Amino acid sequence: MERMICLLIGYAFGLIQTGYLMGKIYKIDIREQGSGNAGTTNALRVLGWKIGLVTFLIDMLKCIGAVLLVRFIFQENALVQLLAIYTGLGVTLGHNFPFYMKFKGGKGIAVMGALIIITSVFTNPMLTLIPLVVFVSTVVLTRYVSLGSLQIAVLFLGLIIFYGQMGDIGLGEWNLIELYAVVFVLVLLAWYKHWENIKRLLSGTENRFGEKKNKMKPIRVGD
C-alpha cells in the first residue's frame, strides 16, 4: 500500500509537463517541433537555452519535491529509502507517460538526474559526482546528449548496487533486491524512451548537441 501511495504521489508530480507548458505560453506545441519530444533537450532545441534551462530545473525540482514529500510523510518508516525510489519511478512514469497528453511525454533523464541527486544526499555524494563527470565528459567529447543520458542510467543502477552492498543505503537484503529491481525498471524506461536515439547512434545519424534538427531554426524566446 505504501509503495502504491508513493507511485501515485510521484506520478502526480510527474504530470507537470514543463516543456509542453512553456511551449504553450509561446503558442507552440513542442511535440510538433524538433524531435517531437516534450522534454528538456527538445525544449532547448526549439525554445532556446533560457527556456531549456527553466524546463530542466523545474523537471528536476518536481522529482526532488515529490521525494522530499514522501520522505516527510514516511520519515519514521524503515523502508523510506526504498519508498523514495518508488516515488522517483512514479515521477518518471508521469513525466514519460502523462495521461492527458495521450501518454506522450518526455524521456525522464532530468527526472533521473534529480533522483540521483536527492538519493545521494541520503547515501553517498559519489552517487551524484560520478554520473555527473561521465555525463559532462561524454557530451563535451561527443556532443551526444543521448549517449550521456544512457550512460548515467546504467551508472545509476551500478552505483546503487555498489553502495547498497556497502551498507550505505540502510536496507535489508530482500529490500535491497527490491530496490535494485525498481532502479532496473528505471533504466529500462530510459533505454526504451531512447530507442530511436540508440538506433541513430548505431547508424551514425544521431543529432549532436548544438545542431539544428532538420535545419530548423530554434525559437529564441527572450533573446
Given a contact cutoff of 8 angstroms between Cβ atoms, the answer to whether 13 and 89 are in contact is no
pTM of the model: 0.86
Tens of pLDDT, residue by residue over 61-73, are: 999 999 999 999 9
From residue 137, how far is each of 112, 145, 147, 161 by CA, in Å? 18, 11, 11, 23
HSE-CB of 68 using CA atoms within 13 angstroms = 10
Helices (H), 143-219: 145-166, 173-193, 195-203
| pLDDT above 50 for 223 | no
Q: What share of the chain is helix, strand, coil (3-state, %, to 5)?
A: 75, 0, 25
Angle between helices 195-203 and 173-193 (to 10 degrees): 60
Q: Which DSSP category does 101 fall into?
A: G
Give the amino acid at 169: I
Tens of pLDDT, residue by residue over 112-171, are: 999 999 999 999 999 999 999 999 999 999 888 889 999 999 999 999 999 999 888 989
| Rounded-to-integer distance, Cα 64 and Cα 114, Å | 6
